[in-house]
Amino acid sequence: MTDLITIKSPKLTARINPFGAELTSLTDRQGKELMTDADPAFWTGHAPILFPIVGALAGDTLRVDGKSYKMDKHGFARRSDFEVVDVQAHHAVFRLTDSDKTRARYPFAFALELTYALEGATLTVTVKIINRGDAPMPASFGFHPAFAWPLPYGEPRDAHRILFGKQEPGALKRIAKDGTIAPEPRESPLDGRSLRLRDDLFSEDALVWDPIASSAVTYGAFGGPTLDVAFPDTPSLGIWTKPGAAYVCIEPWHGIADPSGYAGEFRDKPGVFEIAAGGEKSIKMSVTLNL
């Protein structure tokens, strides 16, 4: 097993795995774990990084400039070894660059850099995507952190909810059995700005808001400590678990699965952004513990 990189503040400790640059543990000052137990009966992920795609492609096929490439759901970054660029007491930097292996699936010269930084009760993850090539580079990116459900503060599981920062009156996207986006929308389960968590919400896979008006949500039982998850740079949000599991994923995305049956160019699909030759794009997410 790869050694985890540990960073600390007076209120939080974070541990990151260089394999996937994946946040694996986030604990409070008493050592209480705020993230998934990664029970293999459900899902062994913790907080995978989604790049260069989010979700599934129709036929697992990426099409760029008339050529086709095999690409698994959520991309390859989550199963890649990142270079540990810098480690200090309160922050750590990880970097993935293109290789023969990545260019066989995604024909672009890139650098993907993640900085994890702790300040007080807040963990901030800053992503920098750099186009090292000489032509515009299409990409998507997503966060996928899995937080403990219930949180470790004694409140019952069925008391937990997610409060959205703004009203979200629109319908949700519906995920088809092959992981693509079905043409039929899904009715919103929100009560005002509140989502009361229960297992049956996820019997048809994730809840997907695209677009989302909110740039932050608050998660918890609201009779105890809560987590603020802020995502100022991502226009979509997924919320997901497997029924019965001890986690809930709050997933800010800049990108989304293919529409069902999509056969067009990757750069033309919904949710994809382009980075100019030699340019870069920054995307942030923060998690704050409210005690």
> Any idea what DSSP says for residue 3?
P
Residue 202: strand, helix, or coil:
helix
* pTM (global) more than 0.85: yes
pLDDT number for residue 238: 98
Looking up tokens 């949500």 gives 217
What is d(CA 17, CA 24) in angstroms, rounded to the nearest whole number?
A: 6
Q: Is the pLDDT of residue 83 over 70?
A: yes
Count of H helices and E strands in the chain?
A: 1, 23
pLDDT digits (tens, 9 = 90+) for 90-146: 999 999 999 999 999 999 999 999 999 999 999 999 999 999 999 999 999 999 999
The total domain count for the chain is 1
**Which among 249, 189, 184 is positioned nearest to 219, based on CA atoms?**
249
Distance from C-alpha of 234 to C-alpha of 257, rounded to nearest angstrom: 15
By three-state DSSP, how is residue 259 classified?
A: strand
CATH classification at residue 184: 2.70.98.10
- Please say whether the dihedral angle defined by the alpha carbons of residues 139, 240, 90 and 235, taken in this order, is positive or negative: positive
Q: Which domain holds residue 67?
A: 5-290
